[in-house]
Structure 1
Amino acid sequence: METSFEFIWHSGVFLLLCLVLFFVAQLAFRMFNPSFNVNKELTEKDNLSFYLGYLGYFLGFLMIIGGVMNSEGSGDFYSEIVLSLIYGGIGILILNLTSLVLDKIIHPKLRLWDDIIVNGNVAVGLTKGIHYFATGLIVGGVMLTEVDKPVEAAIFLVFALVIGSIGFMYYDFITPFNVRKEIYKGNNAAAIGAGGAQIAFAILIYSGFQIVHSTWQESMLMIGVDILAGFILLPLIRLIVDKVFIPTAKLTDEIVNQEKPNFGAGLFEAASYIGGALLFIWCWNL
């Protein structure tokens, strides 16, 4: 009976701890983005574009919390509380700082929040939210396995985030249209397609950290295999979607070459990338 009570007590404390961290994450978001009024965007302007970016931020932080809470603990209840607070705080800092850096790398000619706040560009809001989520997934993967090795964790994190940004840029490379230009124009179909590619790469990187490894060289090798799979899978999946699942039209035409872009086609493409990444890691990790 005592064990059951302790389990309930410990679980309740950690749940409360997670809620506190989410509150801190919300404060940090406002601190890192002082140029706009969050409450005004949420309730006065009913800015859907802002909601998408804001939601992606919290979903990304949820992935980080998952990594922190499921990482190998010290075994001592009170020590784990302190460590969870510390690593949760570090996760909040990394999520916000990385977002600023990746925006400069992936979208060097545009300030995403400006387009979201001023123009209410839903495609840009969707892109921003997916950037947050993909980043959170990668950071959560690092914290899940390397949280007790801070130096290695930092090295892996920088490597993983740089590679993670490739998902969006690689999609831009394999498609016969300028995805950034389409997103800036407000093309939601292009935004969701590119976002699916970015999430797929994040899933593959996350998976690379979950495979048991004894050395950092082995870790790099496993992540490298997953990334190579991403480079092969994305164009292959796009071809299959184009020829098999949407055989009566070209995917590119549905997304960019018509007056109203086909959001359903972009969504189907994104889901195909994510599904392909999941199928690969499930089969690869058998």
Structure 2
Amino acid sequence: MESEILTLSYNPEMLAYFSADILIALVLLIAMRWVYTLWTRVDSTNELSGKDNFAFGVSVASSLLALSIVVWSAAEQASADDYLTQSLQMLVFGIGGIILIKIGRWAHDKVILNRFNKREQILQGNVSIGLVDGANTIATAIIIRSVMLWTEGFTLYSGIAILSGFFVAQTVMLVTTRLMERRFAQDNQNDSMQDVLVRGQVALAIQHGGHLLGVAFAVSAASKILVYHPWAYISNLINWLFIALLFTLLTIILAWVAKRLVLKGINLVREVDQQHNIGVASIEMALTIGVALLLLGLVS
């Protein structure tokens, strides 16, 4: 019986740039926590280990994971033979990712969830707000990743495409949130979903976070359908937005059908909205993300 032994060729140049990439990634992660500290204007160490602020920890963790997704995408897109460009691309897109995550948080606070101060709620330890904030941040990073892998090269046009993808991401999050708010108000005597989140309804936060993440994967399907044209950035933006909204609605509809079939006999409104059933909300989240991944796989 013949056996094959995997052999790795030693390349000092590759090892040097690989080490540089790891160093850049670590520096970016440290910078991300520093930027988050500036945003909250508090001692992050005291919040995490002194006050044991779980909401703060969830929010920081989502920022680090979102940045990791962006850096991962930059490294994956770069040519394996061009180590210097790959390191430069990781650095530029990493810094850009930190800026976009910060802008995304501002948009989420001022436009999407505009009935309360998200920063104050997180500092007060509101876990439900921390979960929704984290889901939004990671969902934005997932969409940006799909745009980064969709573009070609390391040019001004690819940067414009990424900014367009960021705009699409925020638009989709806004539409999704407003649809969920309308559904919640209809099922709960015109009560406000945002007000309930402020009251600390974790099950609702898990349910809504699942919608945001599911929609992010569904929107990523646009990168499998559309052809990238570097100079046609206006049509790229319009096409991405159209496909994103189309797959958002499709995901919501199919997820609704899946929930009615899989959770047959369970009153979802009563269990999640009124009885705060985290278990049922988690199943809803899994089904929403699962449907979105199925759609993404079908168009890949």
Place the TM-score, normalised by the shorter chain, in its bin. 0.7 to 0.9
Match of 1:122 among 124, 127, 144: 127
Describe the SS at the equivalent of 1:186: coil
Tell me whether 214-223 or 5-14 shows the greater mean CA deviation.
214-223
Paired residue type of 1:277 = A
User: 1:1-53 CA deviation, whole Å, 9 max, x = no partner?
Assistant: 7655544443332122211111111112112222x221111011111111111
> Residues 132-147 of structure 1 correspond to what in structure 2 (within 5 A)?
132-146=137-151, 147=154
Q: Distance in 2 between matches of 1:65 and 1:167?
A: 26
Pair 1:267 & 2:282 matched: yes
Q: Distance in 2 between matches of 1:226 and 1:161?
A: 11
Q: Quick check: 2:221–2:295 contact (8 Å CA) kept in 1?
A: no
Match of 2:111 among 90, 105, 127: 105
Pair 1:45 & 2:51 matched: yes
> Residues 1-286 of structure 1 correspond to what in structure 2 (within 5 A)?
4-34=11-41, 36-73=42-79, 75-118=81-124, 120-146=125-151, 147-148=154-155, 149=157, 150-175=159-184, 176-177=187-188, 178-211=192-225, 213-215=227-229, 216=232, 217=235, 220-221=238-239, 224-241=242-259, 243-258=260-275, 261-285=276-300
- For the structure 1 residues 18 and 212, does the alpha-carbon distance in structure 2 shift closer, same or farther, using more than 3 Å as the test? farther
Q: Quick check: 2:254–2:291 contact (8 Å CA) kept in 1?
A: no
Runs of 4+ in 1 over 6 A off after TM superposition: none
- For the structure 1 residues 130 and 168, does the alpha-carbon distance in structure 2 shift closer, same or farther, using more than 3 Å as the test? same
Q: CA deviation at 1:73?
A: 4.1
Describe the SS at the equivalent of 1:125: helix
Q: Any gaps of 5 or more consecutive residues in structure 2?
A: 1-7
Q: Any gaps of 5 or more consecutive residues in structure 1?
A: none
User: 1:145-164 CA deviation, whole Å, 9 max, x = no partner?
Assistant: 33532233323332333223
Describe the SS at the equivalent of 1:192: helix
Tell me whether 50-59 or 136-145 shows the greater mean CA deviation.
136-145
Q: Quick check: 2:48–2:57 contact (8 Å CA) kept in 1?
A: yes
Paired residue type of 1:245 = V
- Alignment size in residue pairs: 280
Paired residue type of 2:137 = Y
Q: Distance in 2 between matches of 1:151 and 1:145?
A: 12
2:3 aligned partner: none
Tell me whether 134-143 or 246-255 shows the greater mean CA deviation.
134-143
2:4 aligned partner: none
Tell me whether 4-13 or 57-66 shows the greater mean CA deviation.
4-13
Q: Quick check: 1:71–1:145 contact (8 Å CA) kept in 2?
A: no
Paired residue type of 1:237 = A
Paired residue type of 2:298 = C
Q: Distance in 2 between matches of 1:180 and 1:134?
A: 19
- For the structure 1 residues 137 and 230, does the alpha-carbon distance in structure 2 shift closer, same or farther, using more than 3 Å as the test? same
Q: CA deviation at 1:105?
A: 1.1
Q: Quick check: 1:197–1:274 contact (8 Å CA) kept in 2?
A: yes
User: 1:71-106 CA deviation, whole Å, 9 max, x = no partner?
Assistant: 244953223322321221111111112211121111
- For the structure 1 residues 153 and 240, does the alpha-carbon distance in structure 2 shift closer, same or farther, using more than 3 Å as the test? closer
Cα RMSD, aligned residues only:
2.4
